[in-house]
A and B are shown apart, each in its own frame.
Chain A
């Protein structure tokens, strides 16, 4: 398994750093301009969630290979309050803060795979993947 590169999220500046890391990795892997924008935008949404709800966390970006198919995998982890009802936050328009309620469902639509695990009081881990055409 590739180690990948990580960005620590502590401030709103780190949101930009995390999405630039994801975009640069996607570009180097040969993703097209539109997929690069999709990946960068999805990471921006999730990194902002970490900053707003958990305060700190990490975004790790790496290349993955599944039966010969190359993809980018982004792991967003925090030890924040966790999400009590995942089904609710995955609905369009649901928001508890300054967002428009597009963050999680929007990021899911922009990516090929979206796995979310969260436990109240323990934290949240979201794994995003996009496969190269």
Chain B
């Protein structure tokens, strides 16, 4: 089944993707592949994954988020996850998934600021 593609926006040297739809496993894997391809094509230095509208993160999606951060990191792109809802943060920790090593921020604005700092620290930010 064809699912709604999640738009991946580029602003300067940063990509922003906001998940506004319910991801089932296949569409989540497709989204991961799309993200990595876009990073490669755009040479983005940073990626923000916004989860403000996401109400359920189970172990599959949790692992996928962690994988995206690791894989983008291998490509030289820093990832910040923004907008975890309180209920999602609580269930993730209770589930046993703390997403260690994944950079997070309260919202998109704070995430963008954190990402710019990370990019500046890691050298040339011009992409």
Contacts and interface: CB of A to CB of B under 8 A. Distances in A.
A109 B24 contact: no
Q: How large is the interface on A (under 10, 10 to 19, 20 to 34, 35 or more residues)?
A: 20 to 34
Contact of A34 (B26, B60, B86): B86
A12 interface: yes
Contact of B60 (A20, A23, A99, A109): A99
A106 interface: yes
Given A15-B25, A16-B24, A37-B87, A45 B94 contact: no
Which residue, A19, A37, A109, A110, has most C-beta atoms of chain B within 10 A? A37
Interface residues of B, number: 23
B36 to A, nearest CB: 18
A98 B63 CA distance: 10
B87 A102 contact: no
B23 to A, nearest CB: 8
B11 interface: no
Interface in A98-131: 98-100, 102-103, 105-106, 109-110
B87 A34 contact: yes
Which residue, A12, A20, A33, has most C-beta atoms of chain B within 10 A? A12
B26 A106 contact: no
A13 interface: yes
Which residue, B57, B58, B97, has most C-beta atoms of chain A within 10 A? B58
Interface in B77-127: 85-88, 90-91, 94-97
B55 interface: yes
A37 B56 contact: yes
Interface of B: 1, 22, 24-26, 55-60, 62-63, 85-88, 90-91, 94-97
